[in-house]
């Protein structure tokens, strides 16, 4: 069975955990720092950020492009509220909106996004829309999680329930799919893959991290809650197979130019 993302569930998860996001988004912060290294060094006056969350990557953008105009959008009002509070002294325009449904006014030298595009239902439509909003010589630069994210957790859970399960990252596009979409719209495309790993004291700590960073998406089709028995069995298999509770995050870094 194919895993399909429910946008309402995703939005509700992020909105519910906006206040705990910063304390549980170390991987997203590491991804943002990596993404910043491939941003253009000059010629950027107008920036559009898609999926700004609580404004951590927005802060990096403002630090790099001090004189640039930045418009940052996110689908979650609580996330935007947190970002506005964090950057209240900065000249950043924040807006609540769904990039898949909203129109984009104006032109931008840089359109960028950190760890958000894997939640899109129509990646091709958004890529086409962003291309049309780029100035000549502009760039679309973003990071996005891949389907191998939480591969250890999925394997351990499948053993615990004695069957294959579909998992939220199963719905994330892989490298070939992303390259195919980008190549249809951009002449110059560069992609790099990084595997970021984090270790946790226990499986419960990992699950809490996923929950409080809003990244659980649609969860897994296990048909039941994480009972103490299921948690114990999954953790035991996790430790037997992988030696520790370590989670892999597959991250793609994409740079697109006309």
- The model's pLDDT over 170-220, given as tens digits with 9 standing for 90+, comes to 999 999 999 999 999 999 999 999 999 999 999 999 998 988 886 665 555
Q: Which CATH architecture has domain 7-257?
A: 3-Layer(aba) Sandwich (3.40)
Please check the confidence at residue 17 and state whether its pLDDT lies above 90: no
For residues 139-148, average pLDDT: 97
Distance CA 110, CA 134 (A): 7
Structure tokens at 129: 């829309």
- Distance between CA atoms of 61 and 205, rounded to whole angstroms? 31
Q: Quote the radius of gyration of the chain (alpha carbons, Å).
A: 19
Lowest mean pLDDT among 66-70, 89-93, 188-192: 89-93
Tell me the helix, strand and coil percentages in the chain, rounded to 5: 45, 25, 35
Instruction: State the burial class of residue 230 (Cβ atoms within 10 Å of its Cβ: 0-12, 13-18, 19+).
Output: middle
The mean pLDDT of the chain is: 92
Q: How far apart are the first and last CA of the chain?
A: 37
**18-66, pLDDT tens digit by residue?**
999 999 899 999 999 999 999 998 899 999 999 999 999 999 999 999 9
Name 171's bridge partners: none
* Cβ proximity of 230 and 160 under 8 Å: yes
Does residue 212 sit in helix, strand or coil?
helix
Predicted local confidence at residue 5, as pLDDT: 74
pLDDT at 1: 45
């Amino acid at each position: 069975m194919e895993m399909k993302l429910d946008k309402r569930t995703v939005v509700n998860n992020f909105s519910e955990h906006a206040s705990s996001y910063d304390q549980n988004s170390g991987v997203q912060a590491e991804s943002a720092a990596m993404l910043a290294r491939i941003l253009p060094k000059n010629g950027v006056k107008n920036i559009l950020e898609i999926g700004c969350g609580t404004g951590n990557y927005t802060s990096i953008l403002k630090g790099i492009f001090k004189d640039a105009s930045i418009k940052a959008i996110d689908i979650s009002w609580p996330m935007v509220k947190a970002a506005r509070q964090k950057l209240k002294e900065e000249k950043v325009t924040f807006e609540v909106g769904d990039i898949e449904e909203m129109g984009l006014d104006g032109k931008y030298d840089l359109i960028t996004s950190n760890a958000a595009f894997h939640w899109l239902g129509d990646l091709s439509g958004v890529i086409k829309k962003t291309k049309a909003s780029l100035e000549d010589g502009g760039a679309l630069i973003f990071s996005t999680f891949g389907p191998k994210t939480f591969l250890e957790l999925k394997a351990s859970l499948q053993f615990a329930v004695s069957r294959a399960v579909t998992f939220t990252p199963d719905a994330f596009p892989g490298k070939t799919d992303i390259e195919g979409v980008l190549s249809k719209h951009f002449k110059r495309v560069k992609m790099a893959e990084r595997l970021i790993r984090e270790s946790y004291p226990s499986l419960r700590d990992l699950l809490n991290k996923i929950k409080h960073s809003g990244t659980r998406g649609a969860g897994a089709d296990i048909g039941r809650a994480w009972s103490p028995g299921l948690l114990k069995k999954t953790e035991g298999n996790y430790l037997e197979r992988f030696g520790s509770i370590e989670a892999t995050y597959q991250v793609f870094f994409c740079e697109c130019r006309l």
